[in-house]
Structure 1
Amino acid sequence: MKIIFLPDNITVDAEVGEPLLEVAERAGIIIPTGCLMGSCHACEVEIDDGQTICACITAVPPERKEMTINLAGDIDW
């Protein structure tokens, strides 16, 4: 699967089930983290359908060819 990180338009290939934080790190992107359990929402990002997810507890989903992750959301953490 191809993952596109916005706003810098960085594209990286990823495998189904691979943790999103690892995909981002491999692409040279740092997603802030806190608890690494999804409770603090420090790693919250917006995906292509407008839904927000916690990158620390989310893996690359199956049955998709492309996914966009927007890192330019509200950074109040």
Structure 2
Amino acid sequence: MSKIAVKFMPNDVVIDAEPGEPMLEVARRAGVSIPTGCLMGSCHACEVELDDGSCLCACISGIPGDRPEITINLFSDPVW
């Protein structure tokens, strides 16, 4: 499979990733911090929004492999 260009916003950082690669690992390699809580997808501290409008928990998600590039919008929650 080919690499996917992953863009993290609002940081405006782009990094190549493998389809299915853990999203938190890709963010770490890119120097982007995604807050985490339970690491099981229950607390939603790591919730991000994809460029197609879908929201998911980064701690239990891999990079989708259905397109050549993806934008991941990070939320800022002062509680976390």
TM-score strictly above 0.5: yes
Superposition CA RMSD, Å: 1.1
- Whichever residue aligns with residue 67 of structure 2, its letter is R
8 A contact 2:50–2:72 mirrored in 1: yes
**Alpha-carbon distance in structure 2 between the residues aligned to 1:47 and 1:63:** 13
Output the TM-score relative to the length of structure 1: 0.91
- Whichever residue aligns with residue 13 of structure 2, its letter is I
- What do residues 18-68 of structure 1 show as CA deviations (whole Å, max 9, x unaligned)? 000000000001100011000000000111011111000000112210010
Task: Point out where structure 2 has 5 or more consecutive residues left out of the alignment.
Answer: none
Task: Point out where structure 1 has 5 or more consecutive residues left out of the alignment.
Answer: none
Where 1:38 maps in the other structure, the secondary structure is coil
Q: Does 1:33 align with 2:36?
A: yes
**Alpha-carbon distance in structure 2 between the residues aligned to 1:20 and 1:34:** 15
Q: Does 1:10 align with 2:38?
A: no
